[in-house]
Amino acid sequence: MIEQLNPDGTLQHLVTLEGLQRPLIEQLLERAQTFVRPLDAPSSRSTALAGVTVANLFGEASTRTRGSFELAARRMGAEVINLELHLSSRSKGETILDTVYTLQSMQIDVLIMRETEPGVPGFVAGHVSSHVSVLSAGEAHLSHPTQGLLDALTIRQHKGNFGPLTVAIVGDVAHSRVARSAWRALTLLGTGEVRLMAPPAFMPEPEEFPGCKRFNSLDDAIAGADVIMMLRIQKERMAETSVPAAADYFAEYGLTPQRLKLARPDAIVMHPGPMNRGIEIDSAVADGPQSVILQQVSNGVAVRMAVLEAVTERVRRLRQGA
Ligand code: ASP
């Protein structure tokens, strides 16, 4: 696994939450919280990233992650370039390292990558110059660390301590990088009980989520839960023949207002987006009083500001001669 910390203990890369320590996660969440503003207030700004150049390199579709990384960087004063991989030279056969070295030659300091292929962000992090940081914006089905952090921040805002909580992660767990990173964040933060609910075809191997309670009935999984994290069916990661019929899936695994009554009355409902309304979640739940889905989006900007600030801290100090 790639070393993500600088020799002085500061964060250089964020490719995965695996191997990070709880105090670092807590520090990032604390810092992110300081960037959260009410929606009708002016957005949080700083000059922390003045002189820093950030490249967004996206090889998969993205709305929330891409938009919030860009806003986070700009609101902190960075210069930002956005490259769609299908329009870049990688589509002409350039290797990923040639693309990365090309960007490095333009004095890029932070490379934000979304990749379909497992292992690429870590590989790139192992090859960049020591002043460059690599942030994963989603790696195949494996990892989405800033999503894990924003989910943790959202839960913390509503529930405070993780120790007494029961969190149910529901849906296409097998193909979900969101589930994997959320589970890591929840585990690091000492969550009392993490439940997985997936249809049999979407249940991951137990070794991948050690310590989780596994369910294939939605009603059982959400009974008494404090937090319900719904997941999208990742059609793009499965053969067409494996995609379940929407109506059947909704009947058995869709979160409806009736089912939600089984959870604790103050339970919150999360979804990383994009939602399949009427498949994994009923609109009445998605738009209902227990939904914190849009708050997750707001927290995404705050978390990405905190991460960008953290990974550029050492370089900024060195440049200022401190
Ligand atoms: N937006 C999230 C991701 O990139 C969740 C999803 O696509 O279902 O993994």
Q: Which residues line ligand 1 (CB under 6 A)?
A: 138, 144, 177-178, 232, 272-273
Distance 118 CA to ligand 1 centre (A): 15
Cα of 54 from ligand 1 centre, angstroms: 22
Q: What is the rounded average pLDDT for all residues in the chain? A: 94
Beta bridge partners of 118: none
CA–CA dist 217, 126 (Å, integer) = 42
Atom of ligand 1 nearest to the CA of 176: 9
Compute, in angstroms, the gap from residue 173 CA to the centroid of ligand 1. Answer: 12
pLDDT exceeds cutoff 70 at 116:
yes
- Atom 4 of ligand 1: nearest residue by CA position: 138
Catalogue all structural domains in the chain, each as residue range(s) with its CATH number. Answer: 22-143+298-321 (3.40.50.1370), 145-292 (3.40.50.1370)
Probe residue for ligand 1, chosen from 142, 177, 237 as the CB with the greatest number of ligand atoms within 8 Å: 177
Q: Tell me, in angstroms, the distance from the centre of ligand 1 to residue 178's CA.
A: 7
The reported pLDDT for the residue numbered 128 is 96
Q: Which of 227, 317, 306, 211 is nearest to 269 (CA)?
A: 227
Which pLDDT score is estimated for 314? 85
- What pLDDT digit, counting tens, does each position of 60-95 carry? 888 999 999 999 999 999 999 998 776 666 666 778
pLDDT of residue 249 exceeding 80, the answer is yes
pTM of the predicted structure, to 2 decimals: 0.96
Predicted pLDDT at 238: 85
Residue 7 Cα to ligand 1 middle (Å): 32
Write out pLDDT tens, residues 272-302.
999 999 999 999 999 999 999 999 999 999 9
